[in-house]
Amino acid sequence: MIKVLENPFYYLENFHQGLAWIGERYDDLLTADERHFLATFSTLPQSSRALFVRMVMRKGTIFRASKLVYAEIGSTHEAARPLAQAGLIEEDPQLELDALFDLLQKPEIVKVFQLGAHVKHLRKADQLAALRQQYDGARRFSGWYAHSGDYAYRNLTQQLCDRLRLIFFGNYHQDWTDFVLSDLGIYQYEKVEFSPAARGFRSRRDIDDFLAIHQCHERFAEGEDPAAVIADLPPCAPDNEWLRSRRNKLLFAIAQHVEKLRDWPTAHAMYADCDYPGARARAIRVLEKNEQPREAFDLLQIALQAPESEAERQQLLRMAPRLARKLGHAKPPPVVLAQAERIDLSLPPPQEASYVEFVVRDHLSKEDAPVYYVENSLINSLFGLLCWDAVFSPIPGAFFHPYHRGPADLHSADFQRRRALQFGDALSQLDGDQYRATIRANFAAKYGIQSPFVFWEAVDEELLDLALECIPPQHLKRAFERILLDVKSNRSGFPDLIQFWPAERRYNMIEVKGPGDRLQDNQLRWIEYCAAHAMPISVCYLQWAA
């Protein structure tokens, strides 16, 4: 249920809570300007602080007073004056033409520049292009628009506030609105007990490295020369796997870009220097593309001795016959994989547009054997409900603020190992009947709380009961064990549908493929795993009847 917030300054109160949290836990890591901001911000008038937070929570750094009208703040210009005196914002800033256009609406542009008939009806972007040659300098907002009756402000501390947000959340994909969404009850978060010393960054170097990697990512996304971006990538502390993973992810993306440019030597060097999953397989492929089959084959043989994952093994087995043939080697024996049962359907096209999964679901579903569209939601949710306490264990470094959807190390290589005892206790319940009570109890007690595994909108009590009655605990245990082997990769690839026969207490998982569609690699891996462990699984190939 969405709550009503009685305090009109709720966002300011939340911002102060965030600053207090940072001051208590990270004071020794802060720079002088960050520490000064924390010490002086609270001394400003309430309306000024509220206006500043409104600016911080908006996109961009330049604003018009007429767009910052809030009843609880009152006069925007009066509230802005102390902020300017404190050096947090600039009143009437110097603006280039592009920045001015972002602030003005089309009728204002026509008025300010006295546009003629041939220009005023153009799109805003075309008006800007037409005026660029005449206006190449910067002026204050009042100089551009002397009689607007409005004011403009530039937030001078947005980067500082972004750094503080990063320090609080440990990432850039969360922002201060998470406080508000939690207060409103839109998002609910598990309450994890962690010590006051728990924090996402251990040193100032960690913060600076994160910022540098983020800036390199932004530069690469904007099309900057990859060599210049890589030159500025920090090496990261050797004992910080989390930051090394972020660095390697960017390095992998840049290597893929270089590979598309067919710069094989540079791409290979980058893949070879990258520990990101999939980099070694791409290095082999680049060697092959560069007409170096011997080097590619030798590296493939090394990789096959200890594949980094099921995904890499799958890629290696796909490349091996081709490389062997290029070297004149005997064709390696085919790898026999466990196969799913095949279902072939020929059905009339639906009268209204519909997904093929829904067409097959409706065709196969019977009163005594219902079919549900679940894809990745059901098995992940059952796992998350059974292993709730393990996932949200207060492991050092996993939780360091109240707004975690899941542990910060969810995708790290040692995620399971660091919680081996807790996951062992949870999965051991599948050796008896306790797992049913635990899953049902957590479904009731934790309903709606954010989780990286539980799909609350897709799983209801009816589906939960059918799954617990029809899926043997041994099959659940096999599925859960595979999820834990590689959380990032193995949370996806599950079949689209599941059919239950409650009277017989059995089930079947069904992957649906429409005309021209084919199985994806992660789907093939789940199909092989399930078939190898006698977990019922089928692939349904649908064709439209003429």
Q: Which residue has the tokens 């609270």?
A: 42
How many angstroms separate the first and last alpha carbons of the chain?
49
Q: 11: part of which helix (H) or strand (E)?
A: helix 10-26
Q: For the chain, what's the residue count?
A: 546
- Asked if pLDDT for residue 5 goes beyond 80, the answer is no
Residues 6+ apart with CB under 8 A from 99: 62
Q: Is 214 exposed, middle or buried (0-12, 13-18, 19+ CB in 10 A)?
A: middle
Q: How confident is the model at residue 178 (pLDDT cuts 50, 70, 90)?
A: confident
Rg of the chain over Cα atoms, rounded to whole angstroms, equals 29
CA angle in degrees (0–180, nearest 5) for 531-534-538: 45
User: For 260-284, what is the mean pLDDT?
Assistant: 95
Confidence band of 333 (pLDDT split at 50, 70, 90): confident
User: pTM of this prediction?
Assistant: 0.87
Residue % of the chain over a pLDDT of 90: 84
Q: Which residue has the higher pLDDT, 121 or 42?
A: 42
Q: What is the pLDDT of residue 428?
A: 98
Going by the DSSP 8-state scheme, the letter that residue 332 receives in this structure is P
pLDDT for 426 beyond 70: yes
When pLDDT is cut at 50, 70 and 90, the band that residue 529 belongs to is very high
Tell me the pLDDT tens digit for each residue of 369-378.
999 999 999 9
Count helices and strands (H / E) in the chain: 27, 10
CA distance 248 to 245: 5
- Say what the pLDDT of residue 279 is: 96
pLDDT per residue as tens digits for the range 143-171: 999 989 999 999 999 999 999 999 999 99
> What digits encode the pLDDT tens for the residues 75-104?
999 999 999 999 999 999 999 999 999 999
| 293 token code pair | 């089959």
* Amino acid letter for position 117: A
pLDDT value at residue 332: 78
Cβ proximity of 452 and 488 under 8 Å: no
């080697």: which residue's tokens? 329
Using pLDDT thresholds of 50, 70 and 90, give the confidence band for residue 421. Answer: very high
- What are the pLDDT digits (tens) for 180-224? 777 777 889 999 988 878 888 999 999 999 999 999 999 999 999
Per-residue pLDDT at 435? 98
Q: Per mean pLDDT, which range of 35-39, 56-60, 117-121 is the poorest?
A: 117-121
Percent of the chain with pLDDT over 70: 99
Task: Find tokens 């920045």 and name the residue.
Answer: 99
Q: Over range 354-366, report the average pLDDT.
A: 95
- Of residues 307, 297, 304, the one with CA closest to residue 330: 297
Residue 443 and residue 448: Cα distance in Å, rounded?
9
Name residues whose C-beta falls within 8 Å of residue 96's C-beta, 6 or more positions apart in sequence: 137, 138
Domains delineated in the chain: 9-169 (no CATH), 201-327 (1.25.40.10), 341-544 (no CATH)
Please give the average per-residue pLDDT across 220-236, as a whole number: 93
pLDDT reading at 2 higher than 80: no
Looking at residue 3, what is its pLDDT?
60
20 SS3 class: helix
pLDDT value at 362 more than 70: yes
What band does 397 get if pLDDT is binned at 50, 70 and 90?
confident
Mean pLDDT, rounded, of the chain: 94
Q: Is 25 helix (H, G, I), strand (E, B) or coil?
A: helix
What is the pLDDT confidence band of residue 413, given thresholds at 50, 70 and 90?
confident
